[in-house]
């Protein structure tokens, strides 16, 4: 299977420093601690399970995730991530461990996380560098529905309002219902999640029409699916999807479930696509310039043998330990000062 290497690049002038601003998202795939939690279906991820998910495996998993986050933060010689949404995080304990890893500790990262009603006990979270991002308000929006889906509950939508170098931005971190049971049978759940997400956006926009949004997540849908189009947002990842490039593989084909979307009122700053490049607009907001988006990976993150060769390398294939990272590749948007010496390519 063909392997794709890509790096997503976006430029921004922060008006204060020459530091790159990096916004990312990563589904960490089953990032559990090793303790059997009450009322959580985590029995596969404890030491005496078939997977033998013990402290050694947890340490390997943590170091690998830290390595990826560090790698995303070093794109184009940057000094670390500014924001990164995470999915399939069990609790605060694993987040504490993750940001304490030697590769990340020097950045003094912090996080925002709430326990959701998801039966598997996995949640979304936002990690951030307090030197460049200041959270002001945050809360979870529940995705549980007693009316339509028989008490179905899944991961919350995490809402965070904060400032990047003094500029307000609204962030929504998502992990929508999976395609388990088939695409057609599960479509209505993802569209329902989309409706909840859109309602949050609309309620904020009603008060302040100039609000800027970054909506990120593992949507379990592609950029051309109804649930994504329903949000009415600008999607920098659509050109990649149209080329068959993705962040997760299944049955020898790529899906681009992991995306970072921007509110339409950023469109003046993002511009038109010409010859596969995003060119700067003459009326850029805060000197924001948008460059060609791609996806982060490195050779260690890619399965190198067997029937899954070329796929993202997972921690487990079934119950067999493979020592990988995740079944997803991370995505990122990189903002860079307009007056930078070297343009991104």
The architecture that CATH gives domain 21-335 is 4-Layer Sandwich (3.60)
Q: What is the pLDDT of residue 41?
A: 87
- For residue 58, give the nearest of 20, 91, 23, 85 by alpha carbon: 91
- For the ranges 16-30, 70-84, 143-157, 283-297, which has the lowest average pLDDT? 283-297
Q: Is the pLDDT of residue 269 over 50?
A: no
Domain boundaries, the chain: 21-335
pLDDT in tens, 211-234: 999 999 999 999 999 999 999 999
Q: Which residues of 223-256 are buried (b: 16+ CB within 10 A; e: fewer)?
A: bebebbeebebbbbbbbbbeeebbbbbeeeebbb
CA pair distance 254, 6, nearest whole angstrom: 14
CA pair distance 171, 151, nearest whole angstrom: 27
Q: How far is residue 256 CA from its own chain's centroid?
A: 12
Task: Look over the chain and give the mean of its residue pLDDT values, rounded to a whole number.
Answer: 84
8 Å CB contact between 66 and 59: no
pLDDT in tens, 66-118: 999 999 999 876 789 999 999 999 999 999 999 999 999 999 999 999 999 88
């Amino acid at each position: 299977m063909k392997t794709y290497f890509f790096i997503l690049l976006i430029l921004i002038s922060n008006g204060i420093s020459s530091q790159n601003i990096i916004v990312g998202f990563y589904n960490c795939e089953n990032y559990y601690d090793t303790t059997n939690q009450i009322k959580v279906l985590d029995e596969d991820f404890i030491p005496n399970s078939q997977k033998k998910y013990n402290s050694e495996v947890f340490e390997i998993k943590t170091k690998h995730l830290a390595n990826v986050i560090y790698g995303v933060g070093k794109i184009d010689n940057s000094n670390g991530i500014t924001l990164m949404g995470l999915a399939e995080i069990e609790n605060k304990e694993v987040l504490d461990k993750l940001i304490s890893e030697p590769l990340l500790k020097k950045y003094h990262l912090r996080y925002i996380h709430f326990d959701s009603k998801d039966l598997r006990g996995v949640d979304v979270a936002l990690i951030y560098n307090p030197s460049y991002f200041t959270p002001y308000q945050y809360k979870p929006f529940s995705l549980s529905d007693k009316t339509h889906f028989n008490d179905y509950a899944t991961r919350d939508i995490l809402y965070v309002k904060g400032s990047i170098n003094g500029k307000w931005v609204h962030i929504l971190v998502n992990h929508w219902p999976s395609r388990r049971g088939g695409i057609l049978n599960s479509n209505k759940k993802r569209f329902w999640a989309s409706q909840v997400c859109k309602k949050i956006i609309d309620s904020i926009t009603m008060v302040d029409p100039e609000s800027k949004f970054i909506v990120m997540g593992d949507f379990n849908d592609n950029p051309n699916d109804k649930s994504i189009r329903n949000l009415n947002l600008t999607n920098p990842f659509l050109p990649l999807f149209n080329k068959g490039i993705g962040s997760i593989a299944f049955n020898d084909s790529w899906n681009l479930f992991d995306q970072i979307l921007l509110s339409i009122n950023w469109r003046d700053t993002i511009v038109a696509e010409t010859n596969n490049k995003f060119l700067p607009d003459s009326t850029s907001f805060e000197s924001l310039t948008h460059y060609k988006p791609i996806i982060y990976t490195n050779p260690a993150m890619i399965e190198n043998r067997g029937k899954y060769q070329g796929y993202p390398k997972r921690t487990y294939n079934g119950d067999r330990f493979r020592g990988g990272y995740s079944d997803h590749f991370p995505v990122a948007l990189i903002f860079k000062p307009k007056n930078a010496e070297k343009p991104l390519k």
